[in-house]
Structure formats: C-alpha cells, structure tokens
Chains A and B, each alone.
Chain A
Amino acid sequence: MEMTKARFTQTDLAKYPFLKETAMLVKQLDLKIEELTNPDIAAILNRAEERVREAIMSLSVGEKREADVEIPSFPVALLLVINTKNSFIKKRYALAEAKQAFVDMQTESSEKILLIARDFDWNIELTRFSTMPLEFAISFTDYLRNTTHLRDKKWKLVNRLLVNGKVYLNKQDVARLLQEEVQRRIEKRLEVTELPVLPEKIAEITKRLLELAKEKIGQEEMEGLPKVVTQSAFPPCILALYEAASKGRHLSHVGRFTLTSFLVNIGMPPEKVAELFKSFSDYNERLTRYQIEHIAGERGSRTRYTPPRCVTLQTHGVCVNPDVLCRRVSHPLSYYKRKQKQLSSNLPKSN
C-alpha cells in the first residue's frame, strides 16, 4: 500500500472507520456491490449487519474483527442503514458508532487524538510545554460547534478556560466533543437517498433490521419515549392558539409562550414548532428557532419550560371555551393526557 504519509495504522482505521483515510482505503479495495453476497467476503457482510443490529439493540457496535473485515464492514453497514430508509435506525446507528469512538478515544495517546481531531479540520494543539494546566487547546469556534446542544452546565463556554481564542480541555472532554463530530459526519453520510440496485440478500437483511427496529421502538413506546402528537386531544385554549398561529394571526406573549411550551412538552420537534410560526408576516413577531429551542430547553437555557396553569391562562385571557373535561383539570397538559387516554380507549381494540 502506498500510504507513506499516513500516520494512522491499520488498527486505528479499523477502530475509527469514519476517518477520511478509511474511505480512501475502501475505494482502493474496489468492493463491488454485486460481490457483497460472494461467500468469500461473507464475513464483511455479516459484520456489517452485526454493527447495525447491535446499534439498534444496545447502542453499541459489537466486537471488533481483523482490520480487513472491520474496515470495509463500516461502509457496508452504512449502505444497509441507508437502505432501511428509517430515521430511527439512522440516528441510532450514528450515535452508536460515535459512542464507541468516544470509549476508544479515551485510551488513545494525545498525538493520536490530535490526528483524529485534525481529520475533522479542528484547529487544535497540545499545550505540553506551556504553563496551562490542561493538555489540549482548541479554537473556541470548534468548541462551540460541538457543545451548544450539550445540556450539562460544565459545557457552557463561560465555565471554560478561554484564553486568547483557545479553550483548554483535557483528553476526555476532547474525546466527548469528537463524539459529536463523528455522529454528525455519519449522519451526513446517511443522508443519501439514491441507492444502486442491491442484491436480493441485502433486501433480506434490510427487512430483518427493520423488524428489529420495530420491536425496539415498540418497546420504547411502551416505556413512554417517543410520543405522537394528537391534535384532537388539544384543550380548547391550545387549539385556539394553534389555529391562530397557523393562520399567521397575532399572538400575545403569554399566548406564544403557552403554545410553544405546550407543543414542545408533548413531544413536537422544535423544527416543527418553528414551522408553525413561519407564517407570521411580521418579522419581529416571528418566533425564531432559537427562542423555541430556548423554551424547549434543548440548548440555551438548559431547563425545560412548562406551559402555565389554567388559572394563569384564565387571567391572561388565553383560556377560551373551556369544555367539560376542563372542569376536571387544572393544567392544559393534564387535559391533553386525559383526553389522549379517552381517545385511545374509544378506539376499537386491535387484536
């Protein structure tokens, strides 16, 4: 192999298959899709399926193999994930690979960490010979790009050693930020929608993976994780606000806060909520994505806001046309939960 400049070893590339260099290496292998089912390289396909399966089941990527299997199994795994066209699997897989990388990076030498970080075009250096108490220095922009959505206060820039444009970090923190980069890079590679025609065997695997994901999501739904937004369970106040907003009509500040925090609380993704406010013609009144995320507590505020109680909404004129169920609740969110239960128990029981 003619990789004289490479400082990553084969073992490194097997450990961190998302590196740019691995992509080049795989290209050189010249693996053809049609050949994937060839028994000689069955080990690669098996390992690829295992990566995805483990990701779905336990957010890990399974036991590592020899480099010649391990390295090509990663792009094949990507192919499998893309082919499922399932956003849960995509998210889950990217996160699993990123988490594994985080674990592995913590025991790497500092020089290796530096090399990996530079693969993501970070402006990073070692501070070994200076007086700084921490080993790594990265530019504050690289730092911000990877921390603004981490919730713990310790990641706030204000609580960091920021000197002359550099944030000083220890190895574990750098590895944590790199985890974010890895996840983003993999998510990006999974964005592809056009795929070549794949062999029958791949279709079978895809089907298996989808089954597995369904089992997994089903289970998490029972644990109450991903929620579906049921518009028909909105209390009258929220419904009125919701309709006003979608028609681009003016909302009071209390109204806006109530609607946004309600929607975010029942699990509507912030992008969807932002869309609702897009129709506001007045530029100043349009809720920016940022404000919504602030209420969602995903980023800036690091606390999740809840909508006001009914009494508060009554005094601010947000409570309109309360119905029978309203009399039995004191909070729009509990209205929603009760109504949702009612609605689902009214449905004819399937199987």
Chain B
Amino acid sequence: MASRDFVYKKFSEFYSSPSTVIPKISMIGQREIGFLLFKEHVMLRHKSFESTSSLKRFLGETVPSDVYHSCAYYENPEAEMNKKIWLGADLVFDIDADHIPTPCNKIHDEWTCNKCGFGGKGVTPDACPICGGQKFETKTWACELCLKTAKEETAKLLNILEQDFGFSLQELHVFFSGHRGYHVQIEKETIKTLDAMARKEIVDYVSGLGLAILEDETKDNTRRQRHKISFSLHDFGWHKRLKLGLQNFVMNATKDDLNNAGVKVNYKVFSENREILLKRCIEENRWSSVRGIGITTWKKLAKHVKDLESAKIDTVVTTDIHRLIRMNGTLHGKTGLLKVGFPANRLENFDPLKEAVAFKEGTAKISVSEAPEFRLGDDTLGPYKNQTVELPTAAAVLLICKGRAEVVQ
C-alpha cells in the first residue's frame, strides 16, 4: 500500500507541477478521453475536454495511472458508444514488443494463469496449456533488445508508409509508448473517413498479408480451377521490396540463414553462384539458372524475405476505428515513463530510456525482490535480488510499477 501511495504521490506531483505541459492534441474537443484510476483499476470513459489545459487541471485533481484518447472524432464524445456519431479517425499503428519475436526471447517475462495458477517464462500463450484459461497475470520487462527490435519494426513501418503510401515525414507522428513500443499516428484529412475494411487493407499491405505471388496456386472459385501463379517480380510496391530483400539475402546469407529460411540447398553451390543468383534469377526472373536452386526454393526464400521486410504491427489497433490510445505527454502506469513524440527522422537516434524519463529529481529507498541489470537515463543499475537500495526516483518508480520492489519507509 505504501508503495502504491508513493507512486500515486509521484504521479500527482507530476501532473500538478506547473512545468508539466501536455502537448497539444488536435481536435481534442471531438475526442473521447478515458482514464485508468489507481483505485481498483477502474476505467473512466466517455469524458471530453475543451483543451489540454483543462485536461491537465483534471489530471492534477484525479491523478489517473493512465490516460487515453480516442483516435476517433465524434459529434458527441461524451455520449454512450452508439450515440457518439462517428465523424472520422486518425490512422494509427501500434508496435509493441509483446507481439514481436525478439532475440532476448522474452526470458525476462513471466506469466501466471489466473484460473489454475500454472505459469512459465517467455511470451504469454494465447491459452493456458493446463486449463485453457485465457486471462493471465504477467510480469514483463522492457530490455534494450526488446526496445531495439520494436524500433526496427517501426523503421520498416515508416519506410512503407513513406515510400508506398506517400506520407511525408511531417505527416508521420511517431511516439514512444512509455513501455515496450512505438505508436505512429497520421491525421491527414484524406484518411480520416476510411472505414475498418479500408484500414484492414492497409494493415495487410504493411504486413505483406495475402501477397498473391507467394501463393503456390490460386483457386478460381467460379471455375473450380487451379492455376499456377507465374513467379515474376517487377520493380514496384511489394515486388520491389521482395526483390531488394532477396538481393540482400543472397548477398549476406550464411549457412544458418539458409536453414532458418527453411530451404535445403548446398551452401557451397549457393555461395559460389551469388552473382548468377543476383543477375539471372532475381534481376531477369530466370529462376532456374543455378542447378539445385529451383523455383520452390526461391518461393520459400521470398516468403522468408516477406517476413523480414514486413512490419510487425498489432493489427487490431489499426482496424478498430473507435480505439483509445495512450495520450502523448502522459505517464504509463506500468513504468512511470512518459509517452513522448519525436520527429520521424530522429527514430534511429531516439533513446527511449532517456527521453521518456519523467521523474528526474531525488532518490527513493526501495527493497527489490528481483530485477535484471537495466539502464535508465545515464545510469546503469542492478541486477538486484532481495536487497534494499536507494535509487533515482525514476528507477524506483519503474521497479515498483513493475511489481519488483516495495518502498521502504
């Protein structure tokens, strides 16, 4: 309880401080605002505010653990769902390490089934292997590898949105979510009224889902015929992406990479013929130019490359035209870090563990049950196991929010 009070007090100080500024949110009066309260995790929804300054006053009084706004615009944002009258919505993408396989393999994550208590390490399963339950208690961590992977996926997404969809870098608003991922938000007039189906098509494009060229055959439903699709790549859209991806793969693949791609080819043959593979096969679409590397192999490689080139987004976020997303400039209840926006061209150099830190002053004494080594700002801290330490406020809040520590009075 004391720990909860401590975090509450810190959040309260943050939202009450005159130096805290909630960045402007376009058309805020038309959006639904929602809050998660510290008390019993109650969700407060269907709120509306005239401006970010009136919202900030409310935050100082209510002190929620999390703040959200709809990506949708409504005639009546405070009405119940079917009376709101939907006017349009931003196009939003969510990239979260939760949904991406990472090199760290999420060994730092733990899950416990709410129903039977069974648990394990790594990515939380869809259903409990023992009882089939679908609700879990999770203990997660955002390691540097997780964050780096999320950043790489974001870079791929931005690239597709810029090159293929023609959005300018200024139109792509990029945010660190405050936990393990990034948000990309587009507010352009032309996309606002796209319905869920249109957004699903955008999702499928970004994910490379349904690419006809990668299918072995198509069924012609009307004539009940099957016909092979000719495997031929041109220089635009996804074809170009596959082409470049294949070139890159051919030039860099190790024996292990070939195994990972699931193809059985003689590595010696492969590596000695890179020039022909590049020129005759990929460039001229003469796929059978090297003995032992046939069309089946190429298709498998192309599928593998598709997985590498596509952006791993949380698809439901984009297609849900009523979605609530975390508000820029507010604190994340699971970390005490801020959701922060930055220009798209800064993505590579953006350091989430530094720029999202909200509590920059003071220290706190906490007793840590277990924490891996981690970095926050310029400090590298931990690992800790069952020990009492005095840490910078931000680090203390992070560990408490993550359920790894209790405050010591």
| Interface of A toward B, CB cutoff 8 Å | 132-133, 139-141, 144-145, 147-149, 153-154, 156-166, 168, 278, 283, 286, 288-290, 293, 299-300
Contacts and interface: CB of A to CB of B under 8 A. Distances in A.
Interface of B: 45, 81-82, 163-167, 190-191, 194-198, 200-202, 204-205, 208-213, 218, 234, 236-239, 319-320
B210 A153 contact: yes
Given A141-B191, A164-B164, A290 B197 contact: yes
A140 B196 contact: no
Contacts of A159: 210-213, 238
A144 B81 contact: no
A144 to B, nearest CB: 4
Nearest to A163: B236
A157 B160 CA distance: 13
Contacts of B81: 283, 286
A233 to B, nearest CB: 28
B164 A158 contact: no
Nearest to A159: B212
B165 A165 contact: yes
B122 to A, nearest CB: 24
Contact of A141 (B194, B208, B212, B239): B194
B202 A157 contact: yes
A283 B72 CA distance: 15
A159 B196 CA distance: 19
Given A154-B212, A283-B81, A162 B165 contact: yes
Given A158-B201, A163-B166, A165-B165, 18 more contacts: A140-B165, A141-B198, A144-B201, A147-B201, A148-B200, A154-B212, A157-B205, A158-B210, A159-B211, A159-B238, A162-B164, A162-B165, A163-B236, A164-B164, A165-B167, A286-B81, A288-B320, A290-B197
A290 B196 contact: yes
Contacts of B82: 278
A143 B200 CA distance: 14
Residue in B205, B209, B212, B320 with the greatest tally of chain A CB atoms within 10 Å: B205
A158 B197 contact: no
B194 A156 contact: no
Nearest to B196: A290
Contact of B212 (A139, A153, A288, A300): A153
19 contacts: A133-B234, A139-B190, A144-B194, A144-B197, A145-B194, A148-B197, A153-B210, A156-B204, A157-B201, A157-B202, A157-B205, A159-B238, A162-B165, A164-B166, A165-B166, A286-B81, A288-B320, A290-B200, A299-B197
Contact of B190 (A141, A154, A156, A162): A141
Nearest to A303: B221
Nearest to B165: A165
Nearest to A168: B236
Nearest to B134: A253
B236 A293 contact: no
A54 B197 CA distance: 33
Contacts of B210: 153, 156, 158-159
Contact of A290 (B45, B194, B319): B319
A140 B201 CA distance: 10
A289 B197 CA distance: 10
Residue in A149, A154, A286, A288 with the greatest tally of chain B CB atoms within 10 Å: A288
Contact of B164 (A139, A163, A286): A163
A165 B236 CA distance: 12
Contacts of A163: 163-164, 166, 236-237
A61 B213 CA distance: 39
Task: Name the 6 nearest CB pairs between A and B, nearest first.
Answer: A165-B166, A148-B197, A144-B198, A290-B196, A164-B166, A161-B236
Contacts of B45: 283
A168 B191 CA distance: 19
Contacts of B166: 140, 163-166
B36 to A, nearest CB: 14
A297 to B, nearest CB: 11
A280 B334 CA distance: 29
A133 to B, nearest CB: 7
A299 B319 CA distance: 13
Contacts of A290: 196-197, 200, 319
Contacts of A288: 196, 320
B196 A289 contact: yes
Contacts of B319: 290
B318 to A, nearest CB: 11
A293 B163 CA distance: 31
B151 to A, nearest CB: 24
Nearest to A140: B165
Contacts of A147: 201
Nearest to B163: A164
B349 to A, nearest CB: 26
A156 B213 CA distance: 12
Contact of A293 (B197, B202, B234): B197
A42 to B, nearest CB: 43
B133 to A, nearest CB: 12
A158 B200 CA distance: 11
Nearest to A290: B196
Nearest to A152: B221
Nearest to B162: A164
Nearest to B240: A163
Contact of A148 (B163, B195, B239): B195
Contacts of B190: 139, 141
Contacts of A132: 236
A215 B320 CA distance: 43
Contacts of A156: 201, 204, 210, 212
Given A144-B194, A149-B197, A278-B82, A158 B320 contact: no
A290 B200 CA distance: 9
Contacts of B167: 165
Contacts of B201: 144, 147-148, 156-158
Nearest to B166: A165
A289 B362 CA distance: 50
B198 A148 contact: yes
A289 B198 CA distance: 13
Contacts of B237: 160-163
Contacts of B194: 141, 144-145
Nearest to B202: A157
Given A165-B165, A288-B196, A157 B234 contact: no
A290 B197 CA distance: 7
